[in-house]
Amino acid sequence: MPLNGADCMMLAFDHQMRRLGFAGNQAQIVLGLSGRLSGSELETRLHAVRARFSMLAARIKRGLRPWTPCWHLPSADKPAYPRVRSHEPGDEDDLHRIRTDFLNHPLDTRGGELVRFDLVHTKAGNTEVIMTWSHMLMDVSGAQYLLGIIGKSLQGADQYTQAELLSGSYIERLPAGARLPQAGKSFARVDELAACPPVSLYTHARRSIAPRFDYRVVSFSPGQTGAIMAQAEKRGGFLNASAFYIAAAMVQFYQFLQARQIRSPGYVVPLSVDLRKKGTHLPVFTNQAATLLCGFAPDRLEDFDAVMGSFKQQTQAAVRQDLIESNTCAMELARFIPARMYAAKIRKAFAGEIASLVFANPGDAPAFLYEFMGHGVTSMQHVPTVVVPPGMGIVFYTFSGCLHITLVYVESLIAKDEAESFLSALGNQLLADRKI
């Protein structure tokens, strides 16, 4: 099964991050269970899932026929990935260290390790299920559905074949002759933003940086979440929550760089757009997203309303100009040339950068993630993949009626208290009482 263009881009970023010494282009979902789950129970369940979907241990190969990268399914004598590891932490600080160790431990993707499970058994008698996966296999929507398949013992998935979970090229409807001109529109957008390229925290450091990520999470009460959502709905337009979150995040990020006396000619943030059909989680084992690049002049980032206005203008123009489809066409080029060359095009245009800040908004946790293998799920954390550079990213998501924000960053760039201060100030931005 061939990789699509977005998969190839994730593969390119994986190469980039490993070249810089990082674990790779990896992400995590953490589920807190109401009871204790043993490693043997999960291994038994994974054996059944793997027997049906051997894609979980596939490897990427690029041959002569086809020349584009393809997934090759494992033979019976290959290592039985995914692995399950069990751990007994000490205090809360030890628990956080264990989680970040998992995030910074590379997957053996060449050997077919695309997903890894770690079970952390707490002193309270509960278990955390930590799934770390390579982003070249699937995006966050696919990862959530995979957890649903595992947690529900294939319920709802037994009707699908592996091919159906893999299929779903989003570009086939376009005539081949129309794809290159469409891709050109996407590159033109990159060149437009490159007139004022971003300067990331990672690149500005200009020194040896330890290749390790850390992260912090802030959570809001149901009442606070309701107030934030009400503001987002009234102010955000057709992208509501994402527009509201990006505005708050970019205003706070700008203030953060100003405090460090870092000057950037421009600021660029990528907005991911899910290309799946509304109401479905399929396909699973693939990245089904386009990327819209939004640029901001420094003077626009001094005011929340100015950021909101600029973001709305750019997204509305992107819809009018079919830039979502153009981006998918551009990414498809990564299937036919080394994906690193495609990523290098963006870095060259942006003077070595990809973006100022990585942003994601998976939205509400799906209903099937509130139970896992017979245990209630009491908490969930998203830890997104962050490309280096910029080496800093933020994800917004809701679980059980509460908004949560995870800030991921290169550990040696930002101190723990700085990260917590950033999230606290961001929370104040979201909760500010603004006239509508």
Of the candidate ranges 187-196, 246-255, 402-411, the one whose mean pLDDT is the lowest? 187-196
pLDDT of residue 233: 87
Query: At which of 166, 194, 214 does a domain end?
Result: 166
Among residues 10, 3, 66, 9, the alpha carbon closest in space to that of 330 is found at: 9
Q: What is the DSSP string of 407-427?
A: EEEETTTS-HHHHHHHHHHHH
Task: Judge if 301 and 422 occupy the same domain.
Answer: yes
Confidence check: pLDDT of 22 > 90: yes
Q: Which two tokens stand for residue 172?
A: 């086939």
Higher pLDDT, 159 or 263: 263
CB 9 within 8 A of CB 331: yes
Instruction: Give the neighbor-by-neighbor strand order of the sheet with 392-399.
Output: 213-219, 402-410, 392-399, 358-364
Q: From CA 71, how far away is CA 2, in angstroms rounded?
A: 6
CB proximity list for 61: less than 8 A, separation 6 or greater: 69, 70, 72
Same domain (yes/no): 78, 188: no
User: Residue 371: inside a domain, yes or no?
Assistant: no
Percent of the chain with pLDDT over 70: 86
180 and 152, same structural domain? Answer: no
Does position 172 have pLDDT exceeding 70, yes or no?
A: no
Beta-bridge mates of residue 116: 83, 132
What is the pLDDT, as a whole number, of residue 416? Answer: 94
Residue 226 confidence (pLDDT) above 80: yes
59/136 same-domain check: yes
CATH of the domain at 19: 3.30.559.10
Among candidate residues 166, 194, 220, the one where a domain is terminated: 166
pLDDT, residue 139, reads: 96
Q: Residue 145: exposed, middle, or buried by beta-carbon count in 10 A (0-12, 13-18, 19+)? A: buried
DSSP 266: B
Residue 139 lies in a domain: yes
Q: Are residues 194 and 110 located together in one domain of the fold? A: no
Domain range enclosing 214: 176-363+383-431
What is the pLDDT at residue 94? 83
Q: What is the pTM (predicted TM-score) of this model? A: 0.92
Q: The tokens 């431990």 sit on which residue?
A: 105
Task: Return the minimum-mean-pLDDT range out of 84-93, 105-114, 332-341, 398-407.
Answer: 332-341
Q: Are residues 282 and 406 in the same domain?
A: yes
Residues 276 and 150 in one domain: no
Residue 28 clears pLDDT 70, i.e. is over it: yes
Sign of CA dihedral 242, 248, 254, 260: negative
In a domain, 374, yes or no: no
With 0-12 CB in 10 A as exposed, 13-18 as middle and 19+ as buried, what is 132? buried
Does position 377 have pLDDT exceeding 80, yes or no?
Answer: yes
Taking residues 226-234, report their average pLDDT. Answer: 91
Q: Is the pLDDT of residue 170 over 60?
A: no
pLDDT over 60 at 362, yes or no: yes
Pairing of strands 358-364, 375-383: unpaired
CA angle at 273 for the pair 271 and 278, rounded to the nearest 5°: 155
Say yes or no: 245 and 136 in one domain.
Answer: no
Residue 95: count other Cβ atoms within 10 Å of its Cβ: 16
Place of tokens 């550079």: 389
Note the pLDDT of residue 363: 93
CA angle, 35 then 37 then 42, to 5°: 150
The pairing of beta strand 402-410 with beta strand 213-219: antiparallel
252-275: average pLDDT: 94
- Summarize the confidence of residues 272-291 as an average pLDDT: 87
On whether residue 351 sits in a domain, the answer given is yes
Residue 368 falls inside a structural domain? no
Among residues 144, 166, 188, the one where a domain terminates is 166
Q: ∠165-55-275 over CA atoms, to 5°?
A: 35
- The CATH number of residue 325's host domain is 3.30.559.30
Q: Tens of pLDDT along 84-126? A: 999 987 677 788 999 999 999 999 999 999 999 999 998 889 9
Burial (CB < 10 A; 0-12, 13-18, 19+), residue 360, is: buried
pLDDT at residue 331 greater than cutoff 90? no
Domain-embedded: residue 34:
yes
Of the listed ranges 27-41, 185-199, 244-258, 327-341, the least confidently predicted one is 327-341
At residue 3, the 3 state secondary structure works out as coil
Q: Are residues 187 and 147 in the same domain?
A: no
* 119, 216: one domain: no
**Is 370 inside a domain boundary?**
no
CA atoms of 378 and 127, how far apart (whole Å): 11
Domain count of the fold of the chain: 2
Asked if residue 220 lies in contact with residue 402, where contact means CB atoms within 8 angstroms, the answer is: yes
338 located within any domain: yes
267: helix, coil or strand?
Answer: strand
Q: What pLDDT is recorded for position 74?
A: 85
pLDDT tops 70 at residue 390: yes
pLDDT at 265: 93
Share of the chain above pLDDT 90, in %: 59
Whether 136 contacts 103, CB under 8 Å: no
Question: Does one domain contain both 51 and 126?
Answer: yes
Tokens 């503001």 belong to residue: 231
81, 189: one domain: no
68-95 per-position pLDDT tens digit: 788 998 876 666 799 999 998 767 778 8
